[in-house]
Structure 1
Amino acid sequence: MKLFSPVHCHEIGQRSNNEDTIYPSVATEHTRLFIVCDGVGGQAKGEVASSMVCRGFSNYILENPIENIEDETYLTSALQQVELNMGDYLEAHPEATGMASTLTLLLIPDKEEKALIGWVGDSRVYHIRDGEILFQTKDHSVVQSMVDMGEITEEEAQTHPKRNIITRAINGANPTRIDQKIVSEVKKNDFFLLCTDGILETLTKKEILEWFKSQASAEEIKSKILAYAKDVTKDNYSMYLVKIAE
């Protein structure tokens, strides 16, 4: 598996501080692990939570290389270690009680034409091929639950007053669950997009259909996303965009 050089953004938006964290800070075509986290808590140190989750997962995966991408316990073990570390931090820093973070993770093994996706919260991962969304993570949020129950439509969810309330996050105080997906067929020119909800304020399925064509470069798409997000997105906005070369 070979990648084009991945691109990212990590912008403060219209907030006073940036509670998002990404890994790595700069990627190359040799990078195989990508993480994007959105801190929750504001004064309760959301930026600390996102940093701890991002650093915790990256450290675990680098120190414990995955042997079998089909192992459903691997990311759960990583999550348990991250929660343990966050719990220790909260004991030493009670003023941080209430902090939490979402998680999106993409792991691409060198020797398999597969990819492992993990997520907690309402940050998302997309697998896109020639403008078609082949897979999209399902948000752990109040409005997603309302959509699932048929109470509101997906369109209504985008502007619903409860759209920013999440039902699952990593906080170190209450154990949570990580959802995962194995993409069993990865092809040349496929895109993987990991992004916080700040990006989702401006990115629609129409833009995905128009922008993510197989001939488009990751840099071109990044420019379009940033142009839409600038001066519009009220939240921090961060992403990693990965395109498969061969």
Structure 2
Amino acid sequence: MSASSQGFRLNAVTGIHRGDRAYQQDQVEILPHERVPGCVLGIVADGMGGKSGGRKAADQVVMTAKQVFERYVPSQDNPVELLQRLVEEAHLMIKLTAISSEEEPHSTVACFLINPDRSCEIVHAGDSRVYHFRGAEMVSRTIDHSFVQRLVNEGQLTEEEANNHPQSNLLTGCLGTQQDPPLTQGHIDYLEVGDTLLACSDGLWHYFTPKELGAIVHTLSPREASEMLISKARNRARGGGDNLSLALVKVEELLKEAPRFDPSRFR
């Protein structure tokens, strides 16, 4: 999918794989605004709980995102408040789903909203991430709401040690729990040509360093990058891989229209 506006193009792709799990509990979407060119919402939700509970939770996140985004008017509405509302409403809907089932559905969320002026708002809860690359270099990434991230913050673990820690999947915040979800938001003033946004679940980022991710998204087209990331993650999981999903958007220059062939010039 691509959307163009104001001299730039957003080249976007999603990717999803069940991994080696019996159930697919990830959900991913990239939603172009129906009325405003250059306005795009990307979202990844990694569901948890029971056989189908996690999928129900992830479905609620994506469904809520669609409903909230449909009502968004970039020239009038506050994008920060939009993402806050998305998280709060999805959290409430998951909790209501849990009341009517025996499962305990929870979900992460990693979401970015690109506006026509090329500013970008980010929100996340849990350990699904949003990365921002400029060329091959990582500019920033979201900081997980997880037990091991807390240990990294306290200097007790390195990033590499955290990745291999037996409790690396223990979250300190997500959607659908009794606690209010974390509302951690980020902002990018301006996305330049060559910038890439990558939202992904831990089933993907677990297998890559930021340097590897940056090299892949910079060197390859979004579709080729998506295919390579999933292929490499599957290979490195060695039969023990989690569900994995990604939403990738690259800011590209609008290609100049090729000159039209005029046969009269050659008569």
Tell me the TM-score normalised to structure 1 length.
0.88
CA 1:186–1:86 in 2, change beyond 3 Å: closer, same or farther? same
Task: Give the Cα separation in 1 of the matches to 2:133 and 2:19.
Answer: 26
Asked whether 1:191 is paired with 2:192, we answer: no
**Residue aligning to 1:57:** 65
Task: Give the Cα separation in 2 of the matches to 1:25 and 1:185.
Answer: 20
**Residue aligning to 1:138:** 143
Task: Give the Cα separation in 1 of the matches to 2:124 and 2:207.
Answer: 21
Q: CA RMSD in A?
A: 2.5
> Cα distance, 1:30 vs. partner?
6.0
User: Which deviates the most, 36-45 or 46-55?
Assistant: 36-45
Q: Secondary structure at the match of 2:252?
A: coil
Alignment of 1:38-117 (within 5 A): 38-43=46-51, 45-67=53-75, 72-91=80-99, 93-96=100-103, 98-110=104-116, 112-117=117-122
> Cα distance, 1:202 vs. partner?
1.8
Q: Secondary structure at the match of 1:82?
A: helix
Q: Is the 8 A contact 1:129 1:212 kept in 2?
A: no
CA 1:173–1:57 in 2, change beyond 3 Å: closer, same or farther? farther
- Between the aligned residues of both structures, percent identity stands at 28
CA 1:90–1:205 in 2, change beyond 3 Å: closer, same or farther? closer
Q: 1:176 aligns with which of 169, 181, 190?
A: 181
Q: Is the 8 A contact 1:85 1:172 kept in 2?
A: no
What code does the residue aligned with 2:186 have? K
> Cα distance, 1:68 vs. partner?
6.1
Q: Secondary structure at the match of 2:115?
A: coil
Asked whether 1:22 is paired with 2:41, we answer: no
Asked whether 1:129 is paired with 2:134, we answer: yes
CA 1:142–1:26 in 2, change beyond 3 Å: closer, same or farther? same
Q: Secondary structure at the match of 1:5?
A: strand
Higher relative contact order (CA 8 A, sep 6+): 1
**Residue aligning to 1:224:** 228
Q: Is the 8 A contact 1:8 1:241 kept in 2?
A: yes
**Structure with greater strand share of residues:** 2
What code does the residue aligned with 2:24 have? N
Structure 1 residues without counterparts, runs of 5 or longer: none
Q: Secondary structure at the match of 1:84?
A: helix
Q: Secondary structure at the match of 1:168?
A: coil
Q: Paired residues, what number?
A: 242
